[in-house]
């Protein structure tokens, strides 16, 4: 009887001491549980993605030092852990992305990752050399196929990105089971895709899979956990929880014989909510911050952002500024006060009308008799941004940005104004999903005042302004944006779906010409398959559709 433990942990990039402490702690726990093998995630020792930290020799030396400590802790147990290794050959990249198999104080095997993703947020071929050999690990009478993340995503060599299928290479050696060390990022449709890939592998190879994933956020990239054990009859023996650290120990004989299906429920809005809360919590925790400041406008975006912050950091660590102008409705102020009281957070009201008129007075010699336009509108947004940053500097609060993906896509935000902040909380959430999040937050009791949810959205930068004055309904806008951004469909393909040609071309043009704004804004917590930022690299001066 073999027992295999999976440790689904929240690592911190470059925090070797902290990561090693967690790993050693769970090794000790696995020993108490009588586990034969304990498994940790891809690049667990250094955290994922380490990016250009990998170019520092000292970073690699610290990783090697950590492996040595793990080796000394392996008496009586086998440890499988991910870490970078040096490529001893002059040709090729300097490093491998590797999985160590360590037992009885010896490194028994090091298996390198073969399939190196270089798409969306991934850039592994920048740093790593792919594996070219595949050998099973033999341990306590079992033959084990050791794989790293993407290595299980080319089933039968059908993925056009790759020319080799690692598990096909292992199959002829008759493994008893597969271990997969992953760092698989969250997006709201990725959990289902992962399950289907695992099922397809089990259907092809007829052996159980033990899949261990990271949990936690690394700036904008969020890992959701959901580690999985698959039985050879293609059922889910168990799927571990999402968005929390967890540890489980499994009896291999029971996994082989099981005929059950234990899968975590999947719900898009619940997953987005939990991902955003975790993203904010880890951003602050891993940077050593505790308190945030938010501009609370009385609109849906700032309301949802404030609830997320309160749930992530605790209401005692959230402060909001209400900054009404002469164009702000009384409802917006009252709604913001009510929300603040519902959450139990500190709020302050700083009126900006007098500040705005001071700015206008100083600008009158330059503006002359020119009519009121976007310059005066943006002046208000930038005054608010300045006030938020002033409180941030004075008290050490981090400003949270409240822009949503729909507005960020078409440029409906003011640089150095409402687009300021250290982290964009809902910058990868379309407006329609922001409303769905608000409804979800109110499912047990009214947290966000109903009027905030039902009133027409407006920036309130001029009299009687509404978003619908210059944008189509968000139900339509968001569908066009999703087809273009996530679907990578061009104008003709979108128009063929029945959308108005003039509207489609206008929206796509707005997306492209506003890349310069997104280039300068805070990182947005990634919850979709194609977020603005590191996973979507567009030229600022490109002519396409502009």
Catalytic residues: 42, 113, 149
In angstroms, how far apart are the furthest CA atoms of the chain? 87
CB 384 within 8 A of CB 402: no
Q: If we measure between CA atoms, which residue out of 58, 147, 164, 167 comes closest to residue 98?
A: 147
CB 42 within 8 A of CB 148: yes
- The C-alpha atoms of residue 137 and residue 106 are separated, in whole angstroms, by 13
- The C-alpha atoms of residue 487 and residue 198 are separated, in whole angstroms, by 24
Residue 513 half-sphere exposure toward CB, CA atoms < 13 A: 9
Neighbours of 69 (CB within 10 A): 14
List CB contacts of 295: < 8 A, sequence separation 6 or more: 302, 320, 321, 323, 384, 385, 387, 388, 402, 418
CB 391 within 8 A of CB 319: yes
The residue count of the chain comes to: 546
State residue 536 phi and psi, 5-degree precision.
-135, 100
- The C-alpha atoms of residue 23 and residue 66 are separated, in whole angstroms, by 10
- The C-alpha atoms of residue 265 and residue 418 are separated, in whole angstroms, by 36
- The C-alpha atoms of residue 312 and residue 296 are separated, in whole angstroms, by 17
Residue 28: cis peptide before it, omega within 30 degrees of 0? no
Q: If we measure between CA atoms, which residue out of 223, 220, 252 comes closest to residue 240?
A: 223
* Beta-strand relationship, 209-212 and 37-39: unpaired
- Helix segments in 12-117, DSSP class H: 16-32, 57-72
Per residue in 268-291, is it b (16+ CB within 10 Å) or e — as a string?
ebbbbbbbbbbbbbbbbbbeebeb
- The C-alpha atoms of residue 528 and residue 522 are separated, in whole angstroms, by 17
- The C-alpha atoms of residue 73 and residue 101 are separated, in whole angstroms, by 13
DSSP 464: T
Rg (CA), the chain: 26
């Amino acid at each position: 009887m073999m027992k295999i433990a999976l440790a689904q942990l929240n690592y911190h990039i470059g925090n070797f001491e902290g990561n090693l402490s967690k790993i050693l702690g769970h090794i000790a726990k696995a020993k108490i549980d009588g586990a034969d093998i304990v498994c940790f995630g891809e690049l667990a020792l250094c955290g994922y993605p380490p990016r250009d930290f990998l170019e520092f020799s000292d970073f690699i030396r610290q990783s090697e030092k950590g492996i040595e400590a793990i080796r000394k802790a392996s008496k009586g147990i086998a440890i499988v852990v991910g870490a970078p290794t040096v490529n001893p050959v002059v040709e090729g990249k300097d490093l491998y992305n590797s999985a160590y198999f360590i037992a009885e104080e010896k490194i028994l095997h090091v298996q390198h990752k073969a399939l190196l993703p270089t798409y969306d947020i991934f850039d592994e071929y920048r740093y790593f050399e792919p594996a070219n050999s595949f050998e099973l690990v033999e341990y306590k009478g079992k033959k084990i196929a050791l794989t790293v993340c993407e290595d299980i995503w080319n089933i039968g060599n059908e993925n056009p990105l790759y020319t080799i299928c690692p598990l096909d290479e292992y199959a002829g050696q008759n493994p008893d089971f597969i271990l997969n060390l992953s760092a698989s990022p969250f997006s709201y449709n990725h959990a289902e895709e992962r399950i289907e890939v695992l099922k397809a592998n089990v259907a092809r190879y007829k052996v159980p899979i033990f899949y261990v994933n990271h949990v936690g956020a690394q700036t904008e990239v969020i890992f959701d956990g959901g580690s999985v054990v698959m039985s050879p009859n293609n059922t889910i023996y168990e799927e571990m929880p999402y968005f929390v650290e967890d540890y489980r120990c499994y009896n291999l004989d029971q996994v082989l014989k099981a005929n059950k299906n234990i899968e975590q429920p999947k719900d898009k809005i619940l997953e987005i909510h939990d991902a955003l809360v975790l993203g904010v919590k880890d951003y602050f925790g891993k940077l050593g911050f505790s308190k945030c400041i938010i501009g609370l406008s009385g609109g849906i975006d700032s309301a949802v952002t404030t609830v997320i912050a309160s749930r992530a950091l605790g209401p005692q660590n959230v402060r909001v500024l209400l900054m009404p102008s002469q164009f702000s409705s009384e409802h917006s102020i009252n709604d913001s006060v009510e929300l603040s009281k519902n959450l139990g957070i500190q709020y302050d009201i700083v009126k900006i009308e007098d500040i705005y008129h001071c700015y206008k007075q100083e600008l009158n010699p330059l503006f002359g008799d020119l009519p009121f336009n976007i310059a005066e509108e943006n002046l208000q947004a930038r005054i608010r941004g300045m006030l938020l940053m002033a409180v941030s500097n004075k008290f050490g609060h981090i400003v949270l940005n409240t822009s949503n993906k729909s507005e960020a896509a078409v440029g409906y935000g003011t640089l150095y104004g409402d687009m300021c902040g250290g982290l964009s909380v809902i910058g990868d959430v379309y407006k329609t999903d922001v409303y769905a999040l608000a409804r979800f937050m109110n499912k047990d009791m009214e947290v966000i005042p109903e009027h905030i949810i039902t009133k027409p959205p407006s920036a309130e930068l001029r009299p009687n302004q509404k978003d619908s004055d210059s944008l189509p309904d968000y139900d339509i806008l968001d569908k066009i944006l999703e087809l273009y951004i996530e679907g990578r469909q061009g104008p003709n393909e979108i128009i063929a779906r029945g959308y108005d040609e003039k509207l489609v071309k206008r929206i796509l043009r707005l997306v492209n010409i506003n890349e310069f704004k997104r280039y300068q804004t805070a990182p947005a917590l990634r919850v979709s398959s194609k977020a603005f930022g590191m996973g979507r690299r567009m030229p600022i001066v490109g002519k396409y559709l502009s």
